[in-house]
Amino acid sequence: MDAPKRRKTTVKDVLEKKRRKEILVCMAAYDSPMAAIADEVGFDLLINGNAGPMSLLGHPTPMTVSFEEQLILTQAVSRVARYGMIVAHMPFMTYHRSKKHAIRNAARLISEGGADAVKCEGNKYTAEYVAEIVRAGIPAMGHIGMQASRKLEQSGFGVKGRTATDAAKIVEDARAFVDAGVFGFILEYVPVEITSYLAATLPVPVISVGAGASPDGIYIGCGDAVGYSAFPRPKNQRCFVDVRPMIEQGLRAYKEEVLARTYPSEEFTAHMTKEEHDKFLELVA
């Protein structure tokens, strides 16, 4: 029997998987080579999160990432990915100034970036801006729990929601985002008890990144999964294959062969014919 023909993942597909209790497998993708490989493997969502400018461009915090940088990385993904839903992160303070400002920036990620949806960090106070994006016809995901763009407010990147009071606030924020019209959530770095509760009570998928096992979906950064980043891998993210030593080995071998004058060898060298070489020497004499 032939395998089913692959097609683009849509918002309807994401919600249907939640209804059928099927798990969403999601991957962060920040550049064209990684996006092409990930799309060939096959993931429901390809998320261009704020970790992209950090791991690829060296930003120590997402608060220094510009909208244009996030847009460029989204374009790099959308140019090669055909099947996974491309979700572009809205960078720090790009949807808080006004509702008009929020819609314009979200629209640029769709029309110029090629994204299929946008992702917004926030809480019950920022939900009104997310609602305006959705009302404008742009699909939006929420991002709750640990929010890298709110590092200062949250006192760092650690696990959030360890106390009952803090956990209840996360639930309150999630409900406000659902009321705003999001079609799903990224839930980052919280105790699994919160993940389980939200997945069981919310009508949209709750996709875990470092938040334990969610029945709705799992998400990991591409750099974390394969060991390719300018920064150390987060402790609560598994590295499935570490390419950094392999890359270092290859670069060292290249350097050594150049110094030894063994690269490029004859195999990688082009030649003129003797006739053309003789003509060349006459022309330049």
Residue 105 to residue 42: CA distance in whole angstroms: 28
The alpha helices in 94-163, defined as continuous H runs, are: 99-111, 127-135, 151-154
pLDDT, residue 241, reads 84
Cα dist from 1 to 4, 6, 40, whole Å: 9, 15, 21
Residues taking part in catalysis? 188
Predicted confidence pLDDT, tens digits, the chain (285 residues):
566 788 999 999 999 999 999 999 999 999 999 999 999 999 999 999 888 888 788 888 888 889 999 999 999 999 999 999 999 999 988 988 899 999 999 999 999 999 999 999 989 999 999 999 999 999 999 999 987 667 656 656 678 889 999 999 999 999 999 999 999 999 999 999 999 999 999 999 999 998 999 999 999 988 888 888 777 776 667 888 888 899 999 999 999 999 999 999 999 999 999 999 999 999 998
Which residues lie below 8 Å from residue 6, measured CB to CB, with a gap of 6+? 42, 83
Whole-angstrom Cα distance, residue 234 to residue 224?
A: 7
- Residue 25 CB coordination number (10 Å): 17
Sign of CA dihedral 250, 255, 260, 262: positive
pLDDT at 224: 80
Residue pointed to by tokens 């209840």: 168
| Dihedral, 72, 75, 80, 83 alpha carbons, nearest 10 | 130
Can you tell me the distance from the alpha carbon of 149 to that of 156, in angstroms, rounded to the nearest whole number? Answer: 10
In this prediction, residue 197 carries a pLDDT of 98
| Residue 110: closest CA among 158, 160, 75 | 75
Which residues on adjacent β-strands are paired with residue 187?
144, 208
Q: Tokens in use for 275?
A: 């006739």
The sign of the torsion formed by the CA atoms of 58, 154, 26, 192 equals positive
For residue 145, which of 169, 126, 180, 127 has the smallest C-alpha distance?
A: 169
On the CB side of 191, CA atoms within 13 Å amount to: 12
Q: Is the C-alpha dihedral spanning 30, 36, 38, 44 positive or negative?
A: positive
Q: Where in the chain is the domain with CATH 3.20.20.60?
A: 11-242
* Local structure of 85: helix, strand or coil: strand
Helix (H, G, I), strand (E, B) or coil at 143: strand
Q: Which CATH class is domain 11-242?
A: alpha beta
CA–CA gap between residue 79 and residue 91 (Å, rounded): 20
Both tokens assigned to 138: 């742009």
